[in-house]
Structure 1
Amino acid sequence: MEDKPFKEVTVMTRQIGKMKVITSIKQAAEFIVNEWPGTDTERLDIAKHALLECYDGKLSPGVARMAFIEAAKEADIYVEAVGRPPSTGKLEKWRKGKMRRRA
């Protein structure tokens, strides 16, 4: 079976303050087996099933990723990713030329 990458997901590990970045179906499955806190829930079962279906080529990695995220949210281990980097405080010029008057 080949590993299938997806957009990174950051989760907290069992070690206090330590986070892990998951970037593939294989890493997600290993995290569930080795690091998952608590007991099985319905969302975790759905995530496990989605990961297996993705390995078999029946689901896309994006769908399996979303199932993993939903299970991680339910387990309170998902870390929300920041959408944009912080501002540098500098304004970027998006239009270099001078404005022309229309006649």
Structure 2
Amino acid sequence: MRTRRFRKPIVVQPGRIDRDRVVLSVSDAAEVLLKDWPTPASKTRLAAIAACLAVIRGEKPPRVARQAFIVAAKDARILLGEQI
């Protein structure tokens, strides 16, 4: 499987305050969503997981997963920044 990179990174803080995470690709986003997410029952998290899966399957472009990840990160209040 080819890693689908984002054009611009996203910075989140899913855990401890001193552990920022830079998300560079769809696989990075999926890993954070599946392993480190603070609100597991969130609808926006589930939508972001579905978007990542659609990109991995080749059904959608990476920007779809990136946008869904940003929405979920804002909802979970872990978004620190996104490069514009």
Instruction: Identify the structure with the greater helix proportion.
Output: 2
Q: 1:42 offset after TM fit, Å? A: 1.2
| TM score, norm. by length of structure 1 | 0.74
AA of the residue aligned to 1:32: L
Alignment gaps of 5+ in structure 2:
none
Instruction: Name 1:33's counterpart in structure 2.
Output: 34
1:5 aligns with 2:27: no
> In the superposition, relative to structure 1, how do residues 11 and 56 fare at CA in structure 2: closer, same or farther (>3 Å)?
same
Identity of aligned residues (%): 34
Where do 4+ consecutive residues of structure 1 move more than 3 Å? none
AA of the residue aligned to 2:3: D
Instruction: Name 1:55's counterpart in structure 2.
Output: 56
Instruction: Identify the structure with the greater strand proportion.
Output: 2
What SS does the aligned partner of 2:77 have?
A: coil
Aligned length: 83
Alignment gaps of 5+ in structure 1:
84-103
Q: Which has the higher mean CA deviation after the structures are superposed, 48-57 or 16-25? A: 16-25
Rg (Cα) greater in structure: 1
Where relative contact order (Cα < 8 A, 6+ residues apart) is larger, the structure is 2
| TM score, norm. by length of structure 2 | 0.89
Instruction: Name 1:45's counterpart in structure 2.
Output: 46
Instruction: Name 1:78's counterpart in structure 2.
Output: 79
AA of the residue aligned to 2:73: A
